[in-house]
Structure 1
Amino acid sequence: MEDKFETNNENNNENEYEEFCYICRRPESVAGKLIRLQPNLCVCPDCMQRTLDSFSKGMNGMPPFSDMMFFPQDGNPTQNGNQKQENPESGDQQDEKAKNGFHNIAGGFPNIQFLNLGEFGMPETPRVKKKKVKKKQVEPVLDIHSIPAPHKIKASLDEYVVGQDQAKKIISVAVYNHYKRIMSKVEEDGVEIEKSNMLMLGPTGSGKTYLVRTLARLLDVPLAITDATALTEAGYVGDDIESVVSKLLAAADNDVEKAEHGIIFIDEIDKIAKKKNSHQRDVSGESVQQGMLKLLEGAEVEVPIGATSKNSFAPMTTVDTSNILFICGGAFPDLEEIVRERLNKSASIGFVSNLKDQYADDENILQQVKTEDIRKFGMIPEFIGRLPVICVLDALSEDMLVRILSEPRNAIIKQYQKLLQLDEVNLQFEEDALYAIARKAKEEKVGARALRSVLEEYMLDIMYEIPKDDNIGTVTITADYIENHGMPRIEMRSVPQLEDKKS
């Protein structure tokens, strides 16, 4: 019984592992059935085919095997693996030549024999542990009735994102119409709905990326978020333009049909603007915009499966981008100056003249942006034309920063309160303290990202000192503490609570 039990355990352990290709290192579940060349050497069909193709075409300047001449020991040249002899040899003569080192193998390469690689101490068969794949329930293809209405999408976004009502409306309608377009069919009237890609503008820290990340969690659709900073023109170091589609394919579990109905968010799109007064080749600017034109409008592109570069040894597949919604976002620094310059071109003399500094303090000047301003910034007209929907996010005011601190489901204050609850300490903030934090964060001019940096500065001593004393029950952050005029208010636990804790 013990031997049988040990045998079953060994079989179970063997089933948990799988072999992988010795060249491309892909496991059998990805590369397909492996070809076993030696007991300890396996190669996938793709690598085997590439190896045979390289030998047939010749490598490193060598002619292919079909053109090579071989000179065996008897001095008679051979070509194409066939020895040129007028008189065929008998079996005894071939055996005698084989003893002298002449081997006619599989139609015959003279003086060549296959070596037993196991004699050279080859390592054991490479194996990796199998990934436990959860069986997913088979769900129907996209149904128009299962797509939430725009007001429901916005209501879900309101739980996580404060303000930006206009931007949330535009995104909700764009996603809803995108999937209605996919489900609709061209009827007899011949009306075909075209997709409307989106360009999202806004100052840094206003919530562009966070808004799309939240949308990715709420919607059960494949969504890929990538940066445009790593994209370069084809043939240069960096990611190919098609790599954005590869990330979407990976987010869809390599399901091409599911990926073709997904959403791609390209962040930092302003970084690929045309370089001004540059006499060098712009491999990461205008050329990237031109390469993205076919992706935005819709085209069939070849992308690798399970890799981000075409140079990798991975199988390729074709993805149609006609039904993929593209959302491009960027901070577009100095675009405000371009908008102000255009607005100040109006009459400066006479009764209808405008003050030149009337837009100097307008934080939401980007709300008046036009296509000509974006083109002057460095985006080519063909690229702007494929992003017809322009969504501008508002700059965060002091009141919005206070709401961001406390209202969202994943608010920063709630995160610190949960951290101190693990130490059985109640953390509270006075309303004046919240406004003091918001004022300090607004002075840094980096948007909502400054809130955490300000809180980390003032919470450091509290998080360090509280674990020293088990009697602390409540900590209240005051405005005087934030303005460096006092200390936080600390309340101790009552005596019955201490006795309960000791018991």
Structure 2
Amino acid sequence: MVNDDNNSTDNNNVDKSENGDSSDKSNEDEYEKICYVCRRPESKAGTMIDMPGGICVCADCLQKSFNSFQNFGMNMSISKDELEELLNTPGIHMMTTDDFRREIPKKQKLKKKKSSEKKEAPVLDINKIPAPHVIKGKLDDYVIGQDYAKKVMSVAVYNHYKRVATNTMDEIEIEKSNMLMIGPTGSGKTYLVKTLAKLLDVPLAITDATSLTEAGYIGDDIESVVSKLLAAADNDVERAETGIIFIDEIDKIAKKQNTSSRDVSGESVQQGMLKLLEGSEVEVPVGATSKNAMVPLATVNTKNILFICGGAFPDLEDIIKERLNKQAAIGFQSELTDKYDNDPNIMKKVTSEDLRKFGMIPEFLGRLPIVFTLDGLTEDMLVKILTDPKNAIIKQYQKLLELDEVKLEFTEGALRTIAKKAIEKKTGARALRAIIEKFMLDIMYEIPKDDNIGTVKITEEYINGTGGPVIGMRGQDLIEG
């Protein structure tokens, strides 16, 4: 009986080990083999030849190696004694396949494309794409104000993914709805895109245009924006080809004015991005930001990738005012030159002519057909940002103190004062967190010392520095209740 039990346990162990091996093997089967020499995947280079030491080489590279050895042997003759003497020289050893062995990290492996024979479910179902009003309703839960921007984005995204899901409609090809959003810092450009990608459950890559340079110069290549999207899609090319790329600080690649040197991080980058925005097949490095001999390359088609560009475009208001004031002249129909100086909606009057004067080339603007602006944040909007969104800053601090069984309250006057201080900083909603952190520091430090504290009320006097917060003890709360 004992022997039987041992045998059964051994069999179970064997089964487990076999299952483990099979699962590892199935995971490996999902990825393509990559040639050690030219770094091309199996789908491009053809069937790989397995070499000792876990190395794979494509037929082309192997043939080239044979040819080079043959030429080497014809051009060089060496005797047996001379060869032995050379090998016995200190510091020289015979190379083996172990010297070439290099484990390719998983982030640089490419997933195999699914065979076209099997009919897979579509990546996006036309019936499951949220309608524009649903998309805007979800954005309203997180982003305060910016109704026009949210409406434009909702319609553009809805039309884009209908285009992706249907490919063509009655043989009428629908063009891409790439967007350019213009708005002051802290107005919610990046936050809108992040919320949108979360809602649609598609891969999102957020990149910065300031690091991009023309190919061949130090910095990120233009294709690196697509390689970041590929990484966000877990190196799944098919999923990455329906994602969203948000390029922030797009105004930083504007054409430099009056420059005599080569503009490698300005106009050259705009020209390099033209085909990328329009839709083309690009070779992108897998698991890296620049191409080199040791990194495998993947081919990604950008035809169905939605590009959203955003920037603050500082001093664009002056260009708009200059254009609008051209009509000012002597006569009955003349206008005052300071008519638009205090216009809060001056950015809404932007045209492609103004953007060209700023430094964006016409070809680049032509591939961003949807241009819209975000409003600067007012005092009322900042107060709502503090309290209304699902993850509002005030709610975060209330939750933190709730874990210490303390109730946190803010008076209306305190919220207004915080909003006024944020406007003075001129950094948009980002200023709110910095201001609240400053005033909450002492409270978060002192409250855990005393278990009797039940409530904390932040007043306008405390924010202005003329008083302190109102502290309520738990016993007093019970008596008052």
TM tier, smaller: 0.7 to 0.9
Q: Which residue of 1 aligns with 2:408?
A: 427
Query: Unaligned regions of 5+ residues in structure 2, if any?
Result: 40-46, 87-91, 108-119
1:46 to partner: Cα distance: 5.0
> Does the 8 Å CA contact 2:285/2:297 hold for their aligned counterparts?
yes
Q: Which residue of 2 aligns with 1:93?
A: none
CA-atom RMSD, angstroms? 4.0
Q: Which residue of 1 aligns with 2:433?
A: 452
Larger radius of gyration: 1
Q: 1:73 to 1:218 in 2, by over 3 A?
A: closer
1:256 to partner: Cα distance: 2.2
The answer to whether 1:469 aligns with 2:450 is yes
* Cα distance in 2 for residues equivalent to 1:288 and 1:126: 35
Written as runs of structure 1 = structure 2, the 5 A alignment for 1:13-412 is 37=52, 42-45=53-56, 65-73=72-80, 101=84, 140-184=122-166, 186=168, 190-311=171-292, 313-412=294-393
> Does the 8 Å CA contact 1:206/1:396 hold for their aligned counterparts?
yes
State which of 457, 466, 471 in structure 2 corresponds to 1:490. 471
1:468 to partner: Cα distance: 1.0
One-letter amino acid of the structure 1 residue matched with residue 202 of structure 2: V
Q: 1:207 to 1:74 in 2, by over 3 A?
A: closer
Bigger shift: 153-162 or 7-16?
7-16
Query: Unaligned regions of 5+ residues in structure 1, if any?
Result: 27-31, 76-99, 104-111, 131-137, 499-503
After superposition, what is the alpha-carbon deviation per residue over 1:412-446, rounded to whole angstroms, capped at 9, x for unaligned? 10111111111111110001110000000000001
One-letter amino acid of the structure 1 residue matched with residue 148 of structure 2: Q
One-letter amino acid of the structure 2 residue matched with residue 164 of structure 1: Q
One-letter amino acid of the structure 1 residue matched with residue 467 of structure 2: G
* Cα distance in 1 for residues equivalent to 2:173 and 2:445: 63
* Cα distance in 2 for residues equivalent to 1:312 and 1:450: 45
SS in 1 for 2:277: helix
1:316 to partner: Cα distance: 2.2
Identity %: 62
* Cα distance in 1 for residues equivalent to 2:267 and 2:372: 22
> Does the 8 Å CA contact 1:162/1:404 hold for their aligned counterparts?
yes
Q: 1:247 to 1:51 in 2, by over 3 A?
A: farther
After superposition, what is the alpha-carbon deviation per residue over 1:72-100, rounded to whole angstroms, capped at 9, x for unaligned? 1489xxxxxxxxxxxxxxxxxxxxxxxx9
* Cα distance in 1 for residues equivalent to 2:286 and 2:66: 26
Q: How many residues align?
A: 443
Q: 1:177 to 1:226 in 2, by over 3 A?
A: same
> Does the 8 Å CA contact 1:72/1:102 hold for their aligned counterparts?
no
> Does the 8 Å CA contact 2:197/2:244 hold for their aligned counterparts?
no
After superposition, what is the alpha-carbon deviation per residue over 1:247-278, rounded to whole angstroms, capped at 9, x for unaligned? 22222222222222222111110010011111
After superposition, what is the alpha-carbon deviation per residue over 1:455-478, rounded to whole angstroms, capped at 9, x for unaligned? 011111111111111111000000
Greater helix proportion: 2
* Cα distance in 2 for residues equivalent to 1:491 and 1:421: 14
One-letter amino acid of the structure 2 residue matched with residue 183 of structure 1: A
> Does the 8 Å CA contact 1:222/1:259 hold for their aligned counterparts?
yes
One-letter amino acid of the structure 2 residue matched with residue 205 of structure 1: G
* Cα distance in 1 for residues equivalent to 2:464 and 2:476: 33
One-letter amino acid of the structure 2 residue matched with residue 176 of structure 1: Y
Q: Which residue of 2 aligns with 1:87?
A: none
1:242 to partner: Cα distance: 1.0
Q: Which residue of 1 aligns with 2:114?
A: none
Q: 1:113 to 1:145 in 2, by over 3 A?
A: same
SS in 2 for 1:457: helix
One-letter amino acid of the structure 1 residue matched with residue 275 of structure 2: K
Q: 1:219 to 1:6 in 2, by over 3 A?
A: same
> Does the 8 Å CA contact 2:222/2:272 hold for their aligned counterparts?
yes
1:237 to partner: Cα distance: 1.1
Q: 1:2 to 1:331 in 2, by over 3 A?
A: farther
After superposition, what is the alpha-carbon deviation per residue over 1:14-41, rounded to whole angstroms, capped at 9, x for unaligned? 96999999x89x9xxxxx999574xxxx
* Cα distance in 2 for residues equivalent to 1:33 and 1:447: 55
Q: 1:186 to 1:453 in 2, by over 3 A?
A: closer
* Cα distance in 2 for residues equivalent to 1:192 and 1:243: 28
After superposition, what is the alpha-carbon deviation per residue over 1:285-316, rounded to whole angstroms, capped at 9, x for unaligned? 00000000011111111123333322152332
TM-score by length of 1: 0.78
One-letter amino acid of the structure 1 residue matched with residue 138 of structure 2: S
* Cα distance in 2 for residues equivalent to 1:268 and 1:51: 46
Q: 1:429 to 1:381 in 2, by over 3 A?
A: same
SS in 2 for 1:317: strand
1:317 to partner: Cα distance: 2.4
SS in 2 for 1:491: strand
SS in 2 for 1:258: helix
> Does the 8 Å CA contact 2:122/2:165 hold for their aligned counterparts?
no
Structure number with greater CO (CA < 8 Å, separation at least 6) is 2
Q: 1:101 to 1:440 in 2, by over 3 A?
A: closer
* Cα distance in 2 for residues equivalent to 1:66 and 1:394: 73
* Cα distance in 1 for residues equivalent to 2:63 and 2:473: 78
Q: 1:64 to 1:239 in 2, by over 3 A?
A: farther
* Cα distance in 1 for residues equivalent to 2:181 and 2:219: 25
> Does the 8 Å CA contact 1:239/1:308 hold for their aligned counterparts?
yes
SS in 1 for 2:211: coil
Q: 1:362 to 1:51 in 2, by over 3 A?
A: farther
> Does the 8 Å CA contact 1:34/1:43 hold for their aligned counterparts?
no
Q: 1:117 to 1:142 in 2, by over 3 A?
A: closer
* Cα distance in 2 for residues equivalent to 1:255 and 1:413: 39
> Does the 8 Å CA contact 1:406/1:412 hold for their aligned counterparts?
yes
* Cα distance in 1 for residues equivalent to 2:210 and 2:57: 33
> Does the 8 Å CA contact 1:398/1:442 hold for their aligned counterparts?
yes
Q: 1:311 to 1:181 in 2, by over 3 A?
A: same
Q: 1:426 to 1:57 in 2, by over 3 A?
A: farther
